[in-house]
Amino acid sequence: MAINRYAGISPFTSEQGDVFFGRNKDIVELYEQILLEKQVLLYAKSGIGKTSLINAGVVPKLEKVEHFLPLKIRFFSFNENNPVKPLERIFDKLNNLENIDLKQNTILDQLSGNTPKTLWYYFKKIQLLKSDLKIILIFDQFEELFTYPEADILEFKNQFSEILKGEVPPDFIELFAKIRLENRELMNRQNLGLLNQIIEIKAVYIIRADRLSELNRLRDRIPNIQKSYYELLPLDLEQAQQAIENPAIKDDDENLKFASPKFKYKPESISKIVNFLTKKNTQSIETTQLQIICQKIEEVAIAKSQNKLTNQIVEIEKTDLPEFDEIFLNFYESSVKKIPLEYQEKAIILIEDNLIKNELRISLDKNLCTEYISETSLDILVYTHLLRAERNTVGGYSYELSHDTLVKPISDSRKKRKAIEAEIKAEQERKEELRIANEKAEKERIEREKERLEQEKERKRRRVTLRNFTEAFSRNRT
């Protein structure tokens, strides 16, 4: 399947690792830090590229280390209509590991019986089934944990702290001691050794810089969560130029087929892009914005290649560049226009009123989304990368906006829509008031006309009476 040279609004995937440029230094440094430390905190502003760094840079390197298994975890923002707890998200991930069947019976199952299945239970069972495996839990968008009720956060940090310590939790120690008194053959020295073996895991927390203070809510049980940290900085000018130019000139190979032919940028085109991204060197470059712009330029390159008469490589002129100011709003609007017309208005309501709350992305279950638009329309919005679909713990899918960068333009679009709706409502109210006023005026006119006719009728009656009286009087005189 052909892939884009640029990720656009979505984070880079592992399949796009060969076109993930500009972050070599960060990849190496973060990778080495993860190897050395038990816990690593990766933080940066939204839109800088934290998830892409992990997906396309660090995880592929970790996967090459023998016995390492990196697992990405997303909690998603709390949704009262689909209240899946953070721990349940982790349990679901562990229950679906390849080559490890947690349904297999182990000594732990014989001993634990109906004891509640905790995080330590799951990791101990994985260790019993595959003792050389070292799991690295990578919590993407970790700030989402703090959207959950306090009881859910407490449950997570208590159980997670147990596996970070690697020791047998007190509840299980008490259980094993009781069983040893009752059945020393079952709880023999070998099994005790297996159960007491330290669980080796690592944890990587990916969080937005503006939400770092939330981590203080975990420090009572996870005191070292901020001890080893890595700050991902915005791309500098050299890195940005690599991220813009290098994907465009990369050749296809037997494992990689691009949706566009090779192309290159004129220097003045690079300057215009960088000037826009930095607002003429007054602010840092956000990776997501760069990728959205370059993905749009890739479409320009495809169109130019179809129209050119020679095999010469396409060059992107300054005049070929799209209007940047409207590019994100256009991306949203064009994505919605790709679904059938009958669903477009409802799609806007779904996205603007339901997938964003208090300037945050919200994840909604598929069943809730299909109350607004069809499943086919959902698939189209996922294909355009406006929405992202994630498998949830009940075997279905949940949907959310693909990136925080979309929140502001979509929120602005909502404000404009609400303003138009308010104007329409005000106009309707004005027309209704005018209609009522006209009806009242017409009613008053009819009443006046009726009164005038009654008065005219009375005058006629009086004239007839007077005439009759006059005639009768004249006859009497005669």
Task: Could you please state the CATH topology (level 3) that the domain comprising 23-231 is classified under.
Answer: Rossmann fold (3.40.50)
* pTM score: 0.76
Model pLDDT for residues 333-391, shown as the tens digit of each residue = 989 999 999 999 999 999 999 999 888 888 899 999 999 999 889 988 987 878 888 77
pLDDT tens profile 19-75: 999 999 999 999 999 999 999 999 998 888 999 999 999 999 999 999 999 999 999
The string of pLDDT tens digits covering residues 283-321 is 888 898 899 999 999 999 999 988 876 678 999 999 999
In this predicted structure, the answer to whether residue 408 has a pLDDT above a threshold of 90 is no
In this predicted structure, the answer to whether residue 395 has a pLDDT above a threshold of 70 is: no
Q: For residue range 431-475, list pLDDT tens digits in order.
A: 999 999 999 999 999 999 898 898 988 888 888 888 887 877 777
Phi, psi of 380 (to 5 degrees): -65, -45
Indicate the burial class of 126 (C-beta count within 10 angstroms; 0-12, 13-18, 19 or more): buried
Take residue 190 and report the two structure tokens written for it.
């070998």
Share of the chain above pLDDT 90, in %: 54
Cβ atoms of 203 and 39 closer than 8 Å? yes
Domain limits of the chain? Answer: 23-231, 237-320, 326-443
Q: What are the C-alpha distances in Å from 176 to residues 107, 189, 192?
A: 11, 12, 9
Provide DSSP, 40-69: EEEEE-TTS-HHHIIIIIIHHHHHTSTTEE
CA 250, chain centre distance (Å)? 30
Beta bridge partners of 235: 285
Nearest to 33 by CA among 220, 274, 230: 230
DSSP 405-421: GGHHHHHHHHHHHHHHH
Beta bridge pairs of residue 231:
43
What is the b/e burial string over 300-320, where b = at least 16 CB atoms within 10 angstroms of the residue's CB?
A: bbeebeeeeeeeeebebeeeb
- Which letter does DSSP use for residue 54 in this model? I
Q: What is residue 46's predicted lDDT score, i.e. its pLDDT?
A: 81
Among 111-115, 171-175, 187-191, whose mean pLDDT is lowest?
111-115
How long a stretch of residues is the chain?
A: 478
Residue 203's pLDDT band (cuts 50, 70, 90): very high
Q: What are the two backbone dihedrals, phi and then psi, of residue 146, each rounded to the nearest 5 degrees?
A: -85, 5
pLDDT for residue 347 = 95
How far apart, in whole angstroms, are the C-alpha atoms of residue 367 and residue 82? 10
pLDDT at res. 394: 66
In the predicted structure, residue 393 carries a pLDDT above the cut 70: no
Q: Find, among 131, 124, 210, the residue nearest to 167 by Cα.
A: 124
Average pLDDT of span 117-144: 92
Helix/strand/coil for 285: strand
C-alpha 182/C-alpha 194 separation (Å) is 19
Residue 188's pLDDT is 82
Name the pLDDT band for 10 (thresholds 50, 70, 90): confident
Q: What confidence score (pLDDT) does residue 108 get?
A: 82
pLDDT value at residue 111: 79
Does the pLDDT value for residue 107 go beyond 80? yes
The mean per-residue pLDDT over the stretch 146-150 comes to 93
